[in-house]
Amino acid sequence: MTMKEIYATATGWLTNQEIWQGLGNAVFRVAIILVVGKVLVWIIHKTINRVVLERESKRLPSHTRRMTTLGKLMKNVVSYVVYFIAAMLVLSEFGIDLGPLLAGAGVLGLAIGFGAQSLVKDIITGFFIVLEDQFAVGDVIQSGQFKGTVEMIGLRTTRIQSWTGEMFIIPNGMINEVTNFSINNSIAVVDISIAFEEEVDRAIEVIRHTMITLQDTDLVNAPEVLGVQAIAPTGVTLRVIAECKPNTQHALARKLNLEMKKALDANGIEIPYPRMVTYQRNEKGGIKDGA
């Protein structure tokens, strides 16, 4: 084919009104499909949010966390399904036969199911995490070396944000064991030492009075002074425990330490510190104590 024939063919194709009209109609229909898909996803997400809020208001506080997680999971599934259907419709607009494509996708999916077993494991594990209510969005958990607040539970991965800001993205199939710190009340355990020379009963009474008058929104019950935990050459260790709301024990322990230090100082009770005792000989060869 000569250059003149090629030029004539290209010019004829570019000036063909039917081709441009068909292409314009196809582009217009594709745009409508994408817009409708986006609007449909938005409407379904809003509906899910409304249903979840209504269910949360009728459930116990311990069950609302599961409804929030299920809502996010349902929205992810809806998005995947709608966008997949939209992609199939877009391909059909360009004259691609979907029958062989879907049949090939079925065979390919079967092959992927055998080859990508880890992906299938991640998805199945994600469903069981939600259905068994192992943890939910907003819970503080630890899985292996990763500890933080659950930000998202997806079909394949779970996102955990640590208290220092790092975001851990963990495949669901790798979550073999989980410690959930947000279900049951926590116990704050505080040990405080007083000097060996101080009166233990008086120190316990001072601390007990301080704990009874302590006010904190995270406290479930008043802190309890258990008594002497350990005896050392320089001091006596007293133990205090306090039942508090889930995952608040660290902040409460810091507050208990501060309040007990103030109470001990106000009552003249000393804490252990290094001391040195020296002995001096007098002129007659005797020993004189000194500090």
Query: 165-205 pLDDT, tens per residue?
Result: 899 999 988 888 899 888 889 999 999 999 988 899 999 99
Average pLDDT taken over every residue of the chain: 80
The reported pLDDT for the residue numbered 2 is: 64
- Residue spans of the domains in the chain: they are 3-96, 133-180, 186-266
Q: Which residues contact 59 (CB under 8 A, 6 or more apart)?
A: 67
The reported pLDDT for the residue numbered 79 is: 84
The reported pLDDT for the residue numbered 291 is: 47
Q: Residue 99 above 50 pLDDT?
A: yes
DSSP string, 60-110: -HHHHHHHHHHHHHHHHHHHHHHHHHHHHHHHHHTT--HHHHHHHHHHHHH
The tens digit of pLDDT for each residue in 237-288 reads 999 999 999 888 999 999 999 999 999 999 999 888 777 777 777 655 554 5
Report residue 141: phi and psi, to 5°.
-130, 170
- CA distances in angstroms from 86 to 39, 56, 75, listed in the order given: 12, 32, 16
Torsion angle of alpha carbons 182, 187, 193, 199, nearest 10°?
160
Q: Which of 60-74, 128-142, 188-202, 227-241 shows the lowest mean pLDDT across its residues? A: 60-74
Identify the CATH assignment for 133-180 out of 2.30.30.60, 2.40.30.10, 3.40.50.620, 3.30.540.10. 2.30.30.60
| Fold agreement (133-180, 186-266) | no
Helix axes 61-93, 98-115, angle to 10 degrees: 130
- Residue 125's nearest CA partner among 148, 150, 158 is 158
Which CATH code fits 186-266? Answer: 3.30.70.100
Q: Residue 110 above 70 pLDDT?
A: no
The reported pLDDT for the residue numbered 144 is: 87
Calpha distance 140→248 (Å, rounded): 11
